[in-house]
Structure 1
Amino acid sequence: MSLTDTELVEQANTAFYETMERGDFDELSDLWLDDDISCIHPGWPVLTGRGEVLRSYALIMANTEYIQFFLTDVKVSVAGDTALVTCTENILSGGPAEEGGELGPLVGQLVVATNVFRRTPDGWKVWSHHGSPVLTETDGEEDENSPS
């Protein structure tokens, strides 16, 4: 039984996150289109072109000892040779090991993401990734009892 486009796109989206978890830069590079790509990491400016986008992932991988993505609310929409995936990235990450060789503190982060894929002869490839942080109830709120 062959997979539907929706299933193939979901597989490509999963592969995108799994390669980041493994820190496999070469495989991650292969998942992106060869041309006109873009990426917005939370808090970063828009990155365009293969060089800028892939450099950003190399930098992230070099400075992240551990990262794991738990994807929720995954929705896939396919229109011809283009596909849109929206999801929530529940991220657990840790920085480079400290002097004693122990992993830096683990940090949890919630990001909503939009991943756009394009069909190629080699399968579905990432065209664009946009991640935005989700503010928790305590982010940016002042203590109600503090003076204004």
Structure 2
Amino acid sequence: MTHRTDTEAVQAANTAFYEALERGDFEEISDLWLDDGTTSVSCVHPGWPVLTGRGDVLRSYALIMANTEYIQFFLTDVKVALSADIAVATCTENILSGGPAEDGAELGPLVGQLVVATNVFRRTSDGWKLWSHHGSPVLAESGEDDDEEPHA
């Protein structure tokens, strides 16, 4: 494959991952994660400890989907770097989510969140598969308070 085609394929796999989360499609989430029987996958959700192993990673997504009534990702700053059969996709996840509705409401309160994510993919005979996902919350806007000393 050409470099451009590989980049587009990784971008498509990255987008498919977020779209499956939005739909709550556990089967597709499972299919998108690497499953070669030998390589351990890993995942870090914002504020969680590192999860290692396909079982723990997929259970985490089942738990998130079971407890999230609504979630939508607006991806910005998407970049893909390739090296042979490994790809690293970085992006900012602009997340809008809501939990279960209360008091007869149609949807729970919506909350916005910014997360920077690194998704590592590996090329397989079935296409690009997620090997690792790491999401970190964005706690401060860049460029603000540039004149202030860092807090110890």
Q: Does 1:67 align with 2:68?
A: no
The question of whether the paired residues in 1 share the 8 Å contact of 2:101 and 2:109 is answered with: no
Identity of aligned residues (%): 81
Contact 2:17/2:29 (8 A) holds in 1: yes
Provide the alpha-carbon RMSD of the alignment: 1.3
- If the length of structure 2 is used for normalisation, what is the TM-score? 0.86
Residue in 2 aligned with 1:50? 54
CA-CA distance at 1:96 after TM superposition: 1.2
Partner of residue 7, structure 1 = 8
Query: What CA distance in whole angstroms lies between the structure 2 residues aligned with 1:59 and 1:99?
Result: 23
Q: Which sections of structure 2, spanning at least 5 residues, go unmatched?
A: 142-152
Report the equivalent of 2:113: 109
Task: Specify every segment of 5 or more residues in structure 1 that has no aligned partner in the other structure, as ranges.
Answer: 138-148
Structure 1 residue ranges, 4+ long, deviating more than 6 angstroms after superposition = none
Separation in 2, partners of 1:102, 1:18: 22
Q: Does 1:81 align with 2:99?
A: no
Which residue in the other structure is 1:124 paired with? 128
Q: Which residue is equivalent to 1:144?
A: none
Give the aligned partner of residue 28 of structure 2.
Answer: 27
Q: TM-score, normalised by structure 1?
A: 0.89
Whichever residue aligns with residue 63 of structure 1, its letter is N
Q: How many angstroms apart in 1 are the aligned matches of 2:140 and 2:108?
A: 23
Give the partner amino acid of 2:131.
Answer: W
